[in-house]
Amino acid sequence: MRKIIERSDPVQLDSDLGSLDFEKGELLLIDKPLDWTSFDVVHRVRDLFHVQKVGHAGTLDPKATGLLILCTGRRTKEIDRYSGCEKEYEGVMTLGATTASLDSETPRENQKDYSSVTLEAVKAVFESHRGVQMQVPPMYSAAKHSGKPLYKYARKGRSLERQPKEVTISDLGILDFAPPFVRFRVVCSKGTYVRSLVDQCGKELGCGAFLSELRRVRIGDLSLTQALDLDGLYSLSQRRSRLMAEARR
């Protein structure tokens, strides 16, 4: 069942700067850029707003972009309220090759002909993946083994046994079919690895596939349309700093 959260009051470009209190706690919706880690964004917020207590409500891989929820100060206690919510993504599945990381972080390998893959075949495979299922976390992930992220083992060429976890794919549909690229939309539960889903679909289509683009557009009732990009975040911090400087005069 979809977990509903009440609409909150995320910081916006036109927020009342005088009322913002990052130590007391604010909710920030950030449009994470490509090749930034989620913790890169956390550190940027700490630096810009001079607040130490900052946490995010769900990691985005470096090769993914889109909605990242951050809580500061006392509002970090609310992180679980958001992290367990349903997620919505838009992505691109590239047919005819695989990668070790299941996305574009590592080189293509195992290239195969994809010319026989039809729109109907992709629709059928997508349909079969809707619902509750077990999913094994990929080696290139932040899931931990003995306190260390799996990706640290993977980058040393090691592969470890991982326990499958139950996830739910509420919706999985095609937005555009232009082989080798299949643009899709997926709505899923917490803990779902879209890379693993794409890899499995590629296997079932017989040509292999990897996730070449991923953008998170929604978490619960909070949307990417409400998010600040990093330029907006910087602008907000500079305006707030000027206001605080004037108040001290």
Residues known to be catalytic: 61
Contact between 130 and 124 under an 8 Å Cβ cutoff? The reply is no
The H-or-E segment that residue 79 falls in is: helix 79-83
Structure tokens at 187: 């709505």
Nearest Cα to Cα of residue 106 among 210, 18, 27, 36? 210
Say if residue 26 is exposed, middle or buried (CB neighbours under 10 Å; 0-12, 13-18, 19+). Answer: buried
What values do phi and psi take at 102, rounded to 5? Answer: 70, 0
HSE-up (13 A, CA, CB side) for residue 221: 9
